[in-house]
């Protein structure tokens, strides 16, 4: 596994999945998450300020590892690299996206939702993948079943996971960490309630 991905997936039990609507939120959000013990962030490229937010969060927390999420095209891969992303995350994986990761020398956490897709990733040389959407694709039971035939393929499940269910995923032998959007939801960001976000981060960092 690429050392950056290994560090990103093993540093904390939860990787916050973040949708940042306004650039002014980026720095205080990064500081709140870091104060709570989380320093690996997936910033989804779904808002106009997402690329700038990556730079701002890196400035606020220099030791953070920043993943650009929802990367589905080559041009977005290039933009993520140019904006300082340490790695990228995709909801699914195509040959073109994998080739772009190699070309731009930017490690990718590739998306998959089936055993066939996981096997295809292994053939490409990947040792890990983002299981998405986790709950809708079979959840904990599916991952436990996948661990039997593919014990060496490691997983970061994302999608529909909550604070109450994250521990169930983390108990699976093939799960390194989980992706969580519950840590910094839109309502708390809109309210500027960074204390609540820090508290959620602290709880997530304590999971095992």
Catalytic residue list: 42, 130
Burial class (CB in 10 A: 0-12, 13-18, 19+), 149: exposed
Residue 26 — φ and ψ, nearest 5°? -65, -55
List strands edge to edge, sheet with 87-89.
108-109, 87-89, 65-69, 40-44, 14-18, 178-180
Yes or no: say if 68 and 47 are a contact pair by the CB < 8 Å rule.
no
């Amino acid at each position: 596994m690429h050392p950056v991905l290994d560090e990103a997936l093993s540093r904390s039990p939860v990787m916050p999945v973040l949708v940042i609507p306004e650039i002014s939120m980026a720095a205080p959000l990064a500081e709140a998450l870091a104060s709570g013990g989380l320093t690996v962030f997936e910033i989804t490229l779904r808002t106009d300020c997402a690329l700038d937010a990556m730079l701002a969060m890196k400035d606020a927390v220099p030791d953070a590892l920043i993943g650009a999420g929802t990367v589905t095209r080559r041009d977005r891969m290039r933009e993520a690299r140019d904006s300082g992303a340490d790695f990228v995350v995709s909801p699914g994986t195509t040959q073109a996206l994998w080739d772009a990761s190699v070309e731009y020398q930017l490690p990718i956490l590739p998306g998959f939702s089936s055993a066939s897709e996981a096997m295809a990733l292994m053939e490409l040389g990947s040792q890990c993948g983002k299981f998405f959407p986790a709950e809708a694709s079979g959840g904990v039971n599916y991952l436990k079943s996948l661990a039997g035939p593919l014990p060496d393929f490691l997983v970061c499940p994302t999608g529909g996971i909550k604070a109450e269910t994250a521990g169930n995923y983390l108990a699976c032998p093939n799960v390194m960490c989980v992706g969580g959007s519950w840590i910094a939801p839109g309502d708390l960001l809109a309210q500027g309630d960074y204390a609540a976000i820090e508290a959620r981060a602290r709880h997530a960092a304590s999971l095992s």
